Amino acid sequence: MLWRGLENEPSLFVFSFKSMSVMSKDDSKMDSVKYGLLKLIDVSGFKVFDPVVRLCFREEPGKQVGEIVRYMVIPIIFVAFCIGAWAVIAPRHKTKAGRVPDPSQVLSALSVNHTLHVRENEKEADFNALDSRREDRIASVEVTLKEKETEEVELKKKLAEVEVACQAEIDQRLAPLNARLEKLRTSHKEAADARKSEIVTLSEKVVAETAAEDELTALMASDVKLKDEAKEKEKRVKELIEDVKSNPPKNLKRTQLAYNGLAIEIAHLKKRLDYLGKSNRGEKVAVAKADLAKKEEKLKAADEPAGLLAAAKSVVRSEEKVDRIASQSYPRGTTIWFQVWRSLFTVFIGFIMAALVAIPFGIMCGLNRVVMACLTPIISIFKPVSPVVWLLIFQIVVGAFFPNPETHPFFVMMSNIPWVSSLKVNPAMVYSACTVAMCAVWPALVNTALGVSSIDQDHLNVAKVLKLGLWQRLVKIVIPSSLPLVFAGLRISLGVGWMVLIAAEALSGSEGLGKYVWDQYQNGGSMSFANIIFACFVVGIIGFFLDRMMIILQRSVSFDDGAAVV
Amino acid sequence: MSEFAMEIDNVDVGFGPPSQRVEVLDKINLKVKPNEFVAIIGFSGSGKSTLMNLLAGIQPASTGGVFMDGQLVTEPGPERGILFQNYSLLPWLSVYGNIELAVKTVFPEMTAPERKEYIQGYIDMVSLTGSEWKKPSELSGGMRQRLSLARTLSMKPGVLLLDEPLSALDALTRANLQDEIIRIWEEDRRTVIMITNDVDEAVLMADRIVALTPGPKATLGKSFDVELERPRDRTTLNFNREFIELRNTVTKYMVGINEEAKALRTGANLPLPDLMPIDFLSVGNQPRKVVLEDEEPSSESTVTQDKPELVGVGVGNE
């Protein structure tokens, strides 16, 4: 018994020791994951999520929950409150473009815009589909089309039912209003007739010289005034009637919207069938080739010289046509995500241009006080100039470089770069990018100059003791030590650039978010206002992520922690 | 070739335009023999750092000149390695990178593997092995100064200039680094000029101690030879008569010249009027309190009496 007990003990001990070591290994692994995550959060500036991660690893749960409540839950409640306030207040404000859209309308703008984008993609794929893929697609589209069409029939029936049901409700609501209007009209009519006869009798008196002329004019004036008042009253009632008519019961409205959506989808599916059939590129090429074959036969059959010449000419033309059709691409409509990409591309081009100018000049300014003195007046005068002015100047000055943009080597080159060609670089984009560069150059320039001129004297002493040459001093000491401030400047520049870009695009008509907003403002559709507000959120969210990206860059180059303020 | 490794010959240093010129150093003369360890000891504000910049060549002399091996020093260079008080490390470079920058510029002919080994040698020498890829911000003060020392030594300077290298460190780290510097110096002897404000440190480390009188117009005072045998052990040294005597002598001398300077300085001061602070409790508040509590009218009359006196105390000197 004793032996057995002794025998068992060491094994128990070994087991527990083993499990302990395994646990500690796991713990250290967990810790490294945890600290890695925390560092990532810290570097990217999302400090708010710090307690969430800590809570997941069960570190002081009470404290973390407190932090989450204070810095996440309360802010979320606040934002929810703001959205609620928006939802309540917005529909109460009537504008020329209808009521101010509420959050749900803006959210639906997102889905509408996204659907538009998806459908363009589908149509493009259809246009380019060949052979068996094309046939597969035709089959699947036909199946869905059939489904949708049966659905449509049902929905139409339902809509008619709902319309009938709602008509009663609408009539019920309209009846008192109509009655009121009718009453008003008759009473006004009666009053007007009474006044008219009064005027007639008075005018007769005036003719008979038993009454003064000013009495008559006074009466006329009061008549006009009363008429206007009556009109105003009628108008108010009419407005109420319009309001009832334009705001059908929610049930009807929903059914109408669903029906419209379905109708649009069916139209889209039909369009797809067209792109898969007659308008498909492969189909078109095949037709052109058949035509070419016919022409070639004709050429072979021709025997007299004049006919031969004409046949040869038409063969050449047909060949050209085949080539042209084969190289055609789908004429995409602009969609929101395309606009986003184009805006991002433009802002980066502008930003890079700004950085390429700002950093060298900033370094020169920081190193040499004469250069600083030379550039100071230029910086001070041009820094406050509005982007709109720059855009107009660039349209004239830069526009002079390419009078024929289609054939200009720069644009030809741009249309041959794979990804860039899809963004359709055009002069308007160049102007926008130049405007962005012009406005974004100043913060980067000023900050670089500051960073270079405020180098620690100790670091310069090191350079002196090591007898570093100018270039070495620049590369090894000056630039690294000023990098945090340079990046702080670049961060401001990118923010300014993004803000300027939207205005520049709206004004120059360069496809992008700015132009999207402008177009929506101009076309005044039922969704326009919601789309504008939706675009406002898109611009804001992208701006936020651009800023975060710059913070990460800035953090990664700064050697003294905390140089970047979030 | 001069017989002195480093020589300061009748140097004055002053700043500012002639109308309000401040003479910081005045007629400095110092001769340092090869491989000698000289400590210059002075009070803060006496121009120690100016003297060090002068030796390094960062600060030019107004008159006179500094010579190294008989050559006039006109600009800083790696042959006079300087160890700055605030380390002067480049914060964006690692431990290895900081030394590498110095080695690459001073010994451009070194091949890459040679250089790697050479740098590693210096990192090991100052016991920073294992911290090669840390940034200075991740190091403690003592480690930073060690790195700075390694960087300076890696340039193989003929003369090592230590500018209060340990004054920013805590006492324990300080003692540790003193030993380290001495150990390295004894392994690889060279001329060292150290500036310090710590008499113990000077006595422990140096062959000769030179006093710098308090500024302005600081100049070098008496020189004390330290003839304690090396290696010096700080634990036994505290009981060494010679050490204690020398320390006391130097301290007494330093205190003496400081008082002398103070006496000189106060002599130049303008006599100020002897102002007494007003005792608001007895003058200002009491009568008012009396008024509030509504006592006899006689105490109210004291208020009116006190008022002119109040003004008198403020201006006069009694």
Q: What single string gives the DSSP state of each residue in B36-80? A: -EEEEEE-TTSSHHHHHHHHHTSS--SEEEEEETTEEP-S--TTE
Indicate if the pLDDT at residue B308 is higher than 50: no
Q: Are residues A168 and A289 in the same domain?
A: no
Whether residues B58 and A461 touch (CB distance < 8 A) is answered with yes
Nearest to A559 among B81, B91, B106 (CB): B91
- Closest-CA residue of B relative to A484 is B92
Phi/psi region, residue B70 (left: phi>0; alpha: psi -120 to 50; beta: rest), is left
What pLDDT is recorded for position A431?
A: 95
Chain B neighbors of A482, CB-CB under 8 A: none
Whole-angstrom distance, CA of residue B81 vs CA of residue A193: 114
Nearest to A480 among B58, B92, B102 (CB): B92
Phi and psi (nearest 5°) for B9? -115, 100
pLDDT-based confidence at residue B20 (cuts at 50, 70, 90): confident
Asked whether residue A430 is assigned to any structural domain, the reply reads: yes
**Where is the domain boundary, A326, A344, A361?**
A326
Indicate if the pLDDT at residue B317 is higher than 80: no
Indicate if the pLDDT at residue B285 is higher than 80: no
Whole-angstrom distance, CA of residue B158 vs CA of residue B33: 12
Token pair 């943009």: residue: A405
CB B126 within 8 A of CB B150: yes
Chain A interface test: which of B88, B106, B137, B153 (most A C-beta within 10 Å): B88
Low-confidence ranges of chain A (pLDDT < 70): 1-26, 560-566
Whole-angstrom distance, CA of residue A477 vs CA of residue A472: 8
Amino acid residing at B93: L
Indicate if the pLDDT at residue B287 is higher than 50: no
How close A559 comes to chain B (CA, Å)? 5
Examine residue B216 and say whether the peptide bond preceding it is cis (omega within 30 degrees of 0): yes
Chain A neighbors of B90, CB-CB under 8 A: 459, 462, 477, 480-481
Closest CA to A357 of A429, A432, A448: A448
How close B168 comes to chain A (CA, Å)? 15
Q: Are residues A366 and A508 in the same domain?
A: yes
Chain A neighbors of B94, CB-CB under 8 A: none
A185, A224, B122, B248 from A199: Cα distances, Å: 21, 12, 117, 128
Nearest to A467 among B77, B88, B92 (CB): B77
Q: Tell me the pLDDT tens digit for each residue of B184-224.
A: 888 888 899 999 888 888 888 889 999 888 867 888 888 88
Look at A19-28, A153-162, B70-79, B291-300 and tell me which has the smallest mean pLDDT: B291-300
Whole-angstrom distance, CA of residue B78 vs CA of residue B103: 10
Residue B144 neighbours by CB under 8 Å, 6+ apart? B87, B89, B136
Q: Are residues A494 and A518 in the same domain?
A: yes
Mean pLDDT of B22-39: 88
Whether residues A466 and B75 touch (CB distance < 8 A) is answered with no
Whole-angstrom distance, CA of residue B189 vs CA of residue B37: 9
Whole-angstrom distance, CA of residue A483 vs CA of residue A554: 8
- Closest-CA residue of B relative to A477 is B90
Nearest to B90 among A459, A465, A560 (CB): A459
Q: Is B106 on the interface with A (CB under 8 A)?
A: yes
Token pair 């390295």: residue: B184
Asked whether residue A315 is assigned to any structural domain, the reply reads: yes
Query: What is the DSSP secondary structure assignment for residue A49, as one 8-state letter?
Result: G
**Buried residues in A291-323 as b, exposed as e (16+ CB within 10 A):** ebeebbebbeeeeeeeeeeebeebbeebeebbe
Count: domains in chain A? 4
Chain B interface test: which of A458, A464, A465 (most B C-beta within 10 Å): A465
Asked whether residue A489 is assigned to any structural domain, the reply reads: yes
Q: Is B55 on the interface with A (CB under 8 A)?
A: no
Look at A480-489, B264-273, B278-287 and tell me which has the smallest mean pLDDT: B278-287
Alpha helices for A302-335 (secondary structure H): 305-326
Containing domain of residue A431, as a range? 336-557
Whole-angstrom distance, CA of residue A185 vs CA of residue A237: 11
pLDDT-based confidence at residue B21 (cuts at 50, 70, 90): confident
- Closest-CA residue of A relative to B105 is A466
Tokens of A364: 């020169």
Closest CA to B213 of B246, B257, B250: B257
First to last CA, chain A: 69
Chain B neighbors of A560, CB-CB under 8 A: 91, 137
Amino acid residing at A203: S
Q: Are residues A301 and A343 in the same domain?
A: no
- Closest-CA residue of B relative to A482 is B92
Closest CA to A485 of A368, A374, A366, A370: A366
A549-556: long-range pairs with CB below 8 Å, 24+: A550/A487, A550/A490, A550/A491, A550/A494, A550/A495, A551/A44, A551/A45, A551/A491, A552/A43, A552/A44, A552/A45, A553/A487, A553/A490, A553/A491, A554/A484, A554/A487, A554/A488, A554/A490, A554/A491, A555/A43, A555/A45, A556/A43
Residue B145 neighbours by CB under 8 Å, 6+ apart? B83, B87, B165, B166, B168, B169, B177
Q: Are residues A248 and A318 in the same domain?
A: no
Q: What is the count of residue pairs from A and B with beta carbons less than 8 Å apart? A: 53
Whether residues A468 and B105 touch (CB distance < 8 A) is answered with yes
Nearest to B84 among A458, A483, A557 (CB): A458
What pLDDT is recorded for position A565?
A: 40
Asked whether residue A101 is assigned to any structural domain, the reply reads: no
Q: Is B102 on the interface with A (CB under 8 A)?
A: yes
| ipTM for this model | 0.74
Whether residues A476 and B101 touch (CB distance < 8 A) is answered with yes
Query: What is the DSSP secondary structure assignment for residue B12, as one 8-state letter?
Result: E
**Mean pLDDT for all residues in chain B:** 80
Asked whether residue A24 is assigned to any structural domain, the reply reads: yes
Q: Are residues A426 and A552 in the same domain?
A: yes
Query: What is the DSSP secondary structure assignment for residue A404, as one 8-state letter?
Result: S
Asked whether residue A527 is assigned to any structural domain, the reply reads: yes
What pLDDT is recorded for position A145?
A: 92
Amino acid residing at A194: A
Q: Is B86 on the interface with A (CB under 8 A)?
A: yes
Query: What is the DSSP secondary structure assignment for residue A210, as one 8-state letter?
Result: S
Asked whether residue A32 is assigned to any structural domain, the reply reads: yes
A327: enclosing H helix or E strand: none
What pLDDT is recorded for position A254?
A: 86
Chain B neighbors of A467, CB-CB under 8 A: 75-78, 105
pLDDT-based confidence at residue B99 (cuts at 50, 70, 90): very high
Chain B neighbors of A464, CB-CB under 8 A: 58, 75-76
Whether residues B76 and A459 touch (CB distance < 8 A) is answered with no
- Closest-CA residue of B relative to A478 is B90
Chain A neighbors of B92, CB-CB under 8 A: 480-481, 483, 557, 559
Nearest to B76 among A465, A483, A559 (CB): A465
Whether residues B90 and A480 touch (CB distance < 8 A) is answered with yes
Higher-pLDDT residue of B167, A114? A114
**How many C-beta atoms lie closer than 10 Å to residue A445's C-beta?**
26
Chain centre distance of CA A491 = 21
Indicate if the pLDDT at residue B316 is higher than 60: no
What pLDDT is recorded for position A279?
A: 86
How close A51 comes to chain B (CA, Å)? 25
Chain A neighbors of B86, CB-CB under 8 A: 458
Q: What angle do CA A491, A494, A495 make, to 5 degrees?
A: 90
Whole-angstrom distance, CA of residue A229 vs CA of residue A225: 6
* Domains of chain B by start residue, with CATH: 6-79+157-267 (3.40.50.300), 280-315 (no CATH)
Amino acid residing at A527: M
Whole-angstrom distance, CA of residue A339 vs CA of residue A342: 5
Asked whether residue A122 is assigned to any structural domain, the reply reads: no
Whether residues B84 and A483 touch (CB distance < 8 A) is answered with no
Whether residues B76 and A464 touch (CB distance < 8 A) is answered with yes
CB B224 within 8 A of CB B248: no
Mean pLDDT of B14-33: 85
- Chain A interface, Cβ < 8 Å to B: 458-459, 461-462, 464-468, 472, 476-477, 480-481, 483, 557, 559-561
Tokens of A124: 């493009």
Q: Are residues A211 and A347 in the same domain?
A: no
3-state secondary structure of B263: helix
| CATH number of the domain within which A399 lies | 1.10.3720.10
% of residues, chain B, pLDDT over 90: 15
Whole-angstrom distance, CA of residue B87 vs CA of residue A458: 8
3-state secondary structure of B165: coil
**Buried residues in A16-32 as b, exposed as e (16+ CB within 10 A):** eeeeeeeeeeeeeeeee
Indicate if the pLDDT at residue B242 is higher than 80: yes
Q: Is B75 on the interface with A (CB under 8 A)?
A: yes
